[in-house]
Amino acid sequence: MKIKLIYFVLGAFFVILNSCNNSKEATPTTKTSSDMNIAFLHHSTGSAIWNGTKRTFLIKVVNRISDRLAEMMTKSPRVPAYIEAHNLENQTDYRITEMAFPKISPYGWNNYPYDYYNIWVKNAGGEPYLEEPTLEMLTKDYQVIIFKHCYPSSNIQPDQDSADINSDVKTMANYKLQYKALKKKMHEFPNTKFILFTGAVQVQYYLPDEEAKRAKTFYNWVINEWNEEGDNIYLWDLYALQTEGGLYFKDDYALTPYNSHPGGDFSKKVSRLFANRIIDVVENNGTKTKLTGEALQ
């Protein structure tokens, strides 16, 4: 059964790939400039929200073979579809691109505060660090850069004797130093707008009470102290949407009570809010929506 499924997947891959190549060849011209180029850097939680739909068992199997094929087989991702609908209605040309950041190799599948600090601040410059683009590189191609952390960022440990900006240990004190350095770095690019997700959180089954409380304290610090009015950094409040005032990702919103990835219904709902927030940041510096992306009355 598994062998037949693999043959089916591979056959579908070549059919789809060939059709995609043919369609590209049939396009006489391609516009190379845009009103606004947007990069969305993410991993699996971000992918669920980007697609805004449930991933079937077949697509999950295909994803183990080829990310590209899985993306082709998924219904049109909702976030870029919302952006394109806005373009058609308002005669704008905003283009959003997703990318895994950092990649699984050679850097490793880690996108916590330390990792952004490590790539963008500690190893800043015009050359990639372990094949990952620095802000000096990304800001040449994108006017908006969106980034986030995976949900294990909520496993915040007790502070140690002293804070260490160069430590990958997940503590509140380390996070704060890394966030302050990241803010200073992003301020070096005033013509670029940055959108940061508030921290993705986990279902109660996987998140000890003390860690959940620290995650909530760090979230409050980001919202109320780190966030600065009038600069080029904006927030999209995923944490508030996930928890609705609690400490945990609500079981009804998660993939299951034992899986902290977003479920399909939740992903569909918040993909619209995410797109709203992006458009509002682009056009109004975020003044027309709440941090969650809901319209201000």
pTM for this prediction: 0.83
- In tens, the pLDDT along 52-92 reads 875 555 655 665 566 556 555 556 789 999 999 999 999 99
One-letter amino acid at 94 equals: Y
Torsional sign, CA 101, 107, 110, 113: negative
Q: Which two tokens stand for residue 197?
A: 């997700």
Which residues make Cβ contacts (< 8 Å) with residue 6, sequence separation at least 6?
65
pLDDT at 12 over 50: no
Question: Distance between CA atoms of 94 and 180, rounded to whole angstroms?
Answer: 30
pLDDT at 10 over 80: no
According to the model, what pLDDT value does residue 68 have? 57
Burial of 190 (0-12, 13-18, 19+ CB in 10 A): exposed
Verify cis geometry, omega within 30 degrees of 0, for the bond prior to 28: no
Question: Distance between CA atoms of 256 and 180, rounded to whole angstroms?
Answer: 35
- In tens, the pLDDT along 22-45 reads 333 333 333 445 779 999 999 888
Range 252-265 burial, b when 16+ CB lie within 10 A, else e: ebbbeeeebbbbee
Q: What average pLDDT does range 119-137 have in this prediction? A: 97
Q: What average pLDDT does range 237-253 have in this prediction? A: 97
Question: Distance between CA atoms of 131 and 250, rounded to whole angstroms?
Answer: 36
- In tens, the pLDDT along 140-169 reads 999 999 999 999 999 999 999 999 999 999
According to the model, what pLDDT value does residue 295 have? 96
Question: Distance between CA atoms of 256 and 236, rounded to whole angstroms?
Answer: 24
- Ranges of beta strands (E only) in the chain are 36-42, 94-100, 144-147, 193-197, 233-236, 254-256, 259-262
pLDDT at 127 over 90: yes
One-letter amino acid at 159 equals: D
Which CATH superfamily does the domain covering 36-284 fall into?
SGNH hydrolase (3.40.50.1110)
- In tens, the pLDDT along 178-231 reads 999 999 999 999 999 999 999 999 999 999 999 999 999 999 999 999 999 999
pLDDT at 21 over 60: no
Mean pLDDT across the chain: 87
Q: Which two tokens stand for residue 170?
A: 């997940």
